[in-house]
Amino acid sequence: MQAEHQHFGPTAKKEGGMKREHHDMPHEQGEMRSHDPLAMIRQMRAKWLWTNFTNIALGVWLMTSPATFGYQAREMMWSDLISGALLVLFGALSLSPRLDFVGRWAVCFVGVWLQFAPLLFWAPSAVAYVNDTLVGALAITLSVLVPMMPGMAHHMVMRQPGPEIPPGWSYNPSSWQQRAPIIALGFIGWFISRYLAAVQLGYINSAWEPFFGEGTQRVLHSEVSRMWPISDAGLGAAAYTFEVLMGFMGGITRWRSMPWMVTFFGILVVPLGLTHIILVILQPVMVGHWCTLCLAAATVMLVMIPLTLDEVIAMCQFLAQSVREGKPFWRTFWVGGTQEGGDQDTRTPRYGSPVARLAPSMVWGVTIPWTLLVSTILGLWLMFAPAVFQTQGTAADSNHLVGALVITMAVIAMAEVVRAGRFLNVLLGVWIIMAPWLLAGATLEAKWNDMISGVALILVSLPHGTVRERYGSWEWYVL
């Protein structure tokens, strides 16, 4: 298993420049253990052996759950029995230094399965859904997350020296302060999606809806939702679970030490997040109703995207530079490495600093120029304009859809590394001008409103806006 900067296993190799640390043991014992790989691994693993026993206990808990909680679904009963037995087996295997890697990752994959089992089998009882998802999250946390946490991993004897801030950057995109708002937003999204999943799975009969009447009920039980083989809200809750866990995984140099994890984290937040947002945007067109909590979850996901993109760009820069230096891509992708240049992170405020210093460091790399703020307001206005000007038919659908896309592009472009994304709103502005003349249902007032809004959107999308940070070789793309 690779833990942040460290590699450990029975075949761990010594590398030049790597630093060995031996705490609380005589010098002679340290010399002896440095030449005994298994003894060295036992010493490194001592800090988290308790997690193996806890995973075994979780397996026993899971195996006894069907009888304890009175499961009615045969599929859920067998899933918990088999999954619990596998947790016991793989947790026991993890106690062996030789099988630690295989055992822990096997436990992790069982935890991933437990996130989806209640959705695939449409668990008829809420306790089965909650039991599986919480046990699954704990299994993932204890198997791979805890050993990778810096507090546990700092005793690892093999470290890769290198910068904390990417070369040419003015801040560290992997700092805990940068990740804190993403983790917090992930928790909010998880609570919203879990509530909506409870409605779709039939655990509660109605959903809270303050603005759109029966909108939430109609959206959650629409033909579009039933097209999915599982609860789409439950799938969203699972995605938020993985995002929160991945937010905690790794230390402050994971942009270069864990490229694989940053890649998967970026995939969950950016392309899958955009898919979620687009599906919500399509609700009034495909379903004919809005859902307040669906809009709230989409808003949470939208804000997470610009906060995530800088770390993904730093990771891609590191991989590209490694390939140029002749290093094997896949080894670097899975194992990580070091890099010339860059600096140690002396800028990020430490814990205990005043909130006035901590808060700004959480959003370094994201700025809100007045031009993008105006673009966002124009997008909102376009979404409400059909109701104001009595627009009907495809012209109204166009305003709803394009207005939401304008907001999406403007918010994402607030991330300085993708500021060039604002030019997509220029194209949307052109469509806004043309749409009411090409589509049916627009009144004369609506046509003039769209023309003025489209021109205004084009004008405010051209200026560059404020860029406060530096991004090394990527600055050429910050147009």
DSSP string covering 346-364, please?
-SSPPTTS-HHHHHHHTTT
Q: Name the pairing type of β-strands 2-3 and 6-7.
A: antiparallel
Confidence at 286, pLDDT banded by 50, 70, 90: confident
Determine the pLDDT at residue 41.
64
Output the average pLDDT for the chain: 88
361 and 408 Cβ atoms separated by less than 8 Å: no
The residue with greater pLDDT, 111 or 162, is: 111
Angle separating helix axes 126-140 and 74-93, nearest 10 degrees? 20
Tokens 């669906």 belong to which residue? 294
CB atoms within 10 A of CB 458: 18
| Phi, psi values for residue 148, rounded to 5° | -90, -5
Determine the pLDDT at residue 479.
82
Q: Which DSSP category does 171 fall into?
A: S
How far from the centroid of its chain's Cα atoms is residue 155's Cα? 28
Determine the pLDDT at residue 353.
80
Residue 191 tokens read as 């609570």
Average pLDDT over residues 8-37: 42
Does residue 33 carry a pLDDT above 50?
Answer: no
Tokens 């026991």 belong to which residue? 92
Average pLDDT over residues 396-417: 96
Does residue 44 carry a pLDDT above 60?
Answer: yes
Lowest mean pLDDT among 119-123, 146-150, 406-410, 420-424: 146-150
The count of C-alpha atoms lying within 13 angstroms of the C-alpha of 166, restricted to the half-sphere facing its C-beta, is 29
Determine the pLDDT at residue 327.
94
Determine the pLDDT at residue 316.
97
Residue 325 tokens read as 């230096």
Give, rounded to a whole angstrom, the gap between the first and last alpha carbons of the chain.
Answer: 40
Tokens 């439950």 belong to which residue? 234
Average pLDDT over residues 349-367: 89
The 10s digit of each residue's pLDDT in 104-154 is 999 999 999 999 999 999 999 999 999 999 999 999 999 998 887 654 444
For the entire predicted model, the pTM comes to: 0.86
Amino acid at 89: L
455 and 447 Cβ atoms separated by less than 8 Å: no
If we measure between CA atoms, which residue out of 118, 138, 120 comes closest to residue 66?
118
Confidence at 26, pLDDT banded by 50, 70, 90: very low
Determine the pLDDT at residue 24.
40
Determine the pLDDT at residue 445.
94
The residue with greater pLDDT, 369 or 1, is: 369
Amino acid at 15: E
Confidence at 31, pLDDT banded by 50, 70, 90: very low
| Phi, psi values for residue 35, rounded to 5° | -105, 5
If we measure between CA atoms, which residue out of 75, 114, 109 comes closest to residue 90?
109
C-alpha pair distances (Å), 162 with each of 102, 166, 311, 367: 29, 10, 17, 29
* Helical ranges in 154-270 per DSSP H: 176-200, 215-220, 223-226, 232-248, 254-257, 259-269
The 10s digit of each residue's pLDDT in 220-265 is 998 888 888 899 999 999 999 999 999 999 889 999 999 999 999 9
Confidence at 27, pLDDT banded by 50, 70, 90: very low
The 10s digit of each residue's pLDDT in 367-392 is 999 999 999 999 999 999 999 999 99
Does residue 157 carry a pLDDT above 50?
Answer: no
The 10s digit of each residue's pLDDT in 79-101 is 999 999 999 999 999 988 888 88
Does residue 73 carry a pLDDT above 70?
Answer: yes
Determine the pLDDT at residue 1.
40
Determine the pLDDT at residue 23.
39
Residue 55 tokens read as 């995973």
% of the chain beyond a pLDDT of 70: 88
139 and 53 Cβ atoms separated by less than 8 Å: no
Q: Which DSSP category does 212 fall into?
A: S
The residue with greater pLDDT, 287 or 77, is: 77
% of the chain beyond a pLDDT of 90: 72
C-alpha pair distances (Å), 410 with each of 173, 244, 278, 296: 21, 25, 15, 17
Residue 215 tokens read as 């909108």
Q: Say whether 54 sits in a helix, a strand or coil.
A: helix
Q: Which DSSP category does 166 fall into?
A: P
Confidence at 46, pLDDT banded by 50, 70, 90: confident
Average pLDDT over residues 33-51: 69
Does residue 458 carry a pLDDT above 70?
Answer: yes
Does residue 39 carry a pLDDT above 60?
Answer: yes
If we measure between CA atoms, which residue out of 347, 182, 361, 325 comes closest to residue 262?
182
Determine the pLDDT at residue 15.
39
Max intra-chain CA distance, the chain: 89
Lowest mean pLDDT among 36-50, 56-70, 382-396, 443-457: 36-50
Does residue 18 carry a pLDDT above 60?
Answer: no
Q: Say whether 391 sits in a helix, a strand or coil.
A: coil
Confidence at 34, pLDDT banded by 50, 70, 90: very low
Burial per residue of 220-234, b for 16 or more beta-carbon CB atoms within 10 angstroms, e otherwise: bebeebeeeebbbbb
